[in-house]
Homo-oligomer: A and B are copies of this chain.
Amino acid sequence: MQFQDFSVHAAIEKLTALARTAHDLTAASGLTAQRIGEMKTSFCGFDLLYATQRVTPEVLDALQELADEAGLIAAYTAMRQGEVLNRIEGYACENRQVLHTACRDVFADPPLAAEASAKARRELEKLRTFLDEVAGGAIANAEGKPFTTMVQVGIGGSDLGPRALYLALKAYALPGRSARFIANVDPDDVAEVLSGLDLSRTLFNVVSKSGSTLETLTNERLIRARLAQKGLDPARHVLAVTGEGGPMDDPSKYLRSFYMEDYIGGRYSATSMVGLVTLGFVLGFEASMEILRGAHEVDQGAMEPDIRVNLPLLLALLGIWNHNFLAHATVAVLPYSQALSRFPAHLQQCDMESNGKSVTRQGKAVGWQTGPVVWGEPGTNGQHAFYQLIHQGTEVVPAEFIGFRQSQYGLDLNVEGTGSQQKLIANMLAQSLALALGRQIDNPARRFSGNRPNSVLIADRLTPYAMGALLAIYEHRIAFQGFCWNINSFDQEGVQLGKILATRLLDLIAGRTAPEEVNPLEESMLKQARIG
């Protein structure tokens, strides 16, 4: 697969010209009933309404041309087939395949990357057996009682995605089952979680691909010490999800080990064992397979070249329009679903760690903006908070709304002629219209300029299937954008420098630094912060 610079495509010039007179949603006929009906894409159970974006058919045609010129579908297909896309040409790099989609390619026959999918199937079978043993009582605590809680211990991709999915789907938990998460090296994180648990009924699922993540290993040590202190055998309570043959792949220390492969990046690992062990424990095996099924159907749909049909591709290009051509620095993801409260944090990682890059795949400095700042909180809460700036601030924030027609628990009450779920969704749609249309009025403080781009993604209900689909929609949006910007979305070199300096500071604190090796800046930083 040959990648070219973002700036060389013929569509760029067209789009730059079109952006100078970008569509005005507040003009007469800027937003019509017909436009709302026409600018709609239905895909794997989701409807995307994007009439409230500042695009015209001409802009969409130019974005299609960009997608075609940049070979986005070919790149995506190559990724799924196992081409080594995690690389920078001519430089030391991770040099890996990118095969998170293979974890979901366990339904079709044959899969696009046969070996990776075979490994995924093998881990799924191990998981099914493990869950059967937990359910049947073959795996139980020393007193023979069943385990009720699983604590996932991991950080970054081993935390945010699994946590977001757990919160999204806990409404469907098996009776008596729940999960908690420990990520931070902050000792108060582990202390707070442990303080509320019956350890004798708790499994700890320690997740680290390398088996050497500082935070995770430190927390594991704290947990093992606490288990021993309570007279519990850690080998009976602690699982591992790690690389096969790595330092944590040790049956003498772990009740079970599940494997993750180095071709699955942490931030794309929620549908591997990194997410599925805990999700399977709480939701059961079948629900976990439904997550995979939803993701896989999106994976398949994302092969389609037409941006008006391929929803992740369309989202990617609308984002490029807003970021590179309309020059908006951020994007807000606003789920109207309390269950999705941590989904924006997961996307923040997935997007910003993937596309927060300044170097092309050929090792040159980029001459265009890459990934935006991604942030967000659930509505309606946000309406009473930061929406003020989104409506009337000087920074324009493109907004992506996500909602569902039905609730999960089915608890609802008709107040003033409508239920809570109806109020929730009416608020979401009202925000979309309000941002687009604005309001002209004499009082300047009550005026809304409008023309603030946004879109609405809506499905029937947040089920395991829908969650899997939603996850994959955003994963592919991110990958398509990275391909288009000609960056490697799959490495994370930017996390290294902080690690090196933290190690140096810890050496200083622990008194391990030879006097001639002491860096005066580091020493001053510790002294002025009064640390050590």
Contact = CB atoms under 8 A, between A and B. Distances in A.
Given A171-B188, A186-B378, A512-B417, A383 B214 contact: no
Stoichiometry, as copies per complex, reads 2
Nearest to A353: B388
A81 interface: no
A192 to B, nearest CB: 7
Contacts of A501: 430-431, 433-434
Interface in A425-463: 425-427, 429-434, 437-439, 443-449, 456, 458
B388 A356 contact: yes
B47 A528 contact: yes
Interface in A366-394: 366, 368-375, 377-381, 383-394
Contacts of A424: 184-187
B381 A156 contact: yes
Given A425-B529, A525-B432, A366 B385 contact: no
A80 interface: no
A417 B506 contact: yes
A444 B356 contact: no
Given A91-B443, A409-B192, A426 B348 contact: no
Contacts of A261: none
B385 A37 contact: no
Contact of A426 (B352, B371, B397, B502): B502
Interface size class of A (residues with CB under 8 A): 35 or more
Contacts of A416: 506, 510
A145 interface: no
Given A187-B407, A501-B430, A355 B389 contact: yes
A93 B445 contact: yes
Of residues A354, A391, A394, A446, which shows the largest number of chain B Cβ atoms within 10 Å of its Cβ? A394
Nearest to A420: B187
Given A156-B381, A191-B408, A390-B494, 19 more contacts: A37-B527, A155-B384, A171-B191, A185-B427, A186-B337, A188-B337, A218-B413, A221-B415, A349-B384, A353-B387, A353-B388, A357-B388, A359-B447, A417-B512, A425-B529, A426-B502, A426-B509, A429-B526, A430-B502
Interface pairs A-B: 7 shortest CB-CB? A356-B389, A156-B384, A356-B393, A349-B385, A33-B524, A191-B409, A430-B501
